[in-house]
Amino acid sequence: MSLLAEDTPVRELSFCAIDLETTGLFYYSGDRLCELGAVRVSSGQFTDYIKTFVNPGRLLTRDSSAVSGITDDMIKNAPRFAEVAERFLNLIKGSVLVFHNAGFDMGFLNSELGRIGLHLPNLPILDTRMIARHSFKFDNYRLGFLTKTFGITHSVRHRAITDAILTYRLLLALKGELGDDLTLGDLIKAQGKRIEIPPLPILPADLKEFVEKGTHLRVRYRSKKGKTSLKYLQVADWGEYKGHTYLIGNGGPRSEETALRLDRVIDIRPASTV
């Protein structure tokens, strides 16, 4: 249960608006966080923030770099997420978390925290995209379109700290349309439902060792259609998506990136023992 009661007046709440930039779109396929931006607001005032590049330990995709303007050179000397996690968790403590498209950002945050044995605290979550879709009707629900609709502007987009600030300002605009003297529960109702923090993925101990060592694996695997086949995979990572845990690595004749759903694995062992 959240420590913040839903009948708490909005004016008494602290908010922390969060935005991320990532190496790609899919944390469950090994994409990682590369920029973190978050602003804390109390009594209507910006009181603290975090703005940092994060070294993801992998290269950016071309599409991701084109959208954000972030390059591999810009992040190669940045801290790892483990080095900024404590500061981030201190920043959000006791606040209402605010995202635009919470599922995307929470997936990456939970994945990054899970890698270092941590997790998102149980805090209320608001999603400005969900509020806009559930309580209003717009032609488009992207952050840029909605902020422009409300006359909220900024000179830079698709950078984490800027989009975090825009997200909070969009929340203020939506709140203004919803009425006066609102409570936290009113805002949760306006987005249609409570947003739950996804559980951390669980990986058996022996598979954790395979991931840490980058072991070449022989996997007997059942496809979605029930067909059984042998796959060879040099496992590099693992992740969770929609309640399923995946092993991620390179396999196949072209050594392409592959993700295998763990509950479809019939047998798995190091290829060297076969």
Active-site residue (options: 100, 119, 154, 158): 158
| Cα 248 to Cα 26: distance, rounded to the nearest angstrom | 11
| Cα 142 to Cα 152: distance, rounded to the nearest angstrom | 13
* Segment holding 239, helix H or strand E: strand 228-241
Q: Hunting for tokens 């060592």 — which residue is that?
A: 213
Q: If DSSP codes are grouped into helix, strand and coil, which group holds residue 78?
A: coil
Name the nearest CA neighbour of 231 among 210, 208, 260: 260
Q: Is 158 a catalytic site residue?
A: yes
Which residue type occupies 99?
A: F
Positions marked catalytic? 158
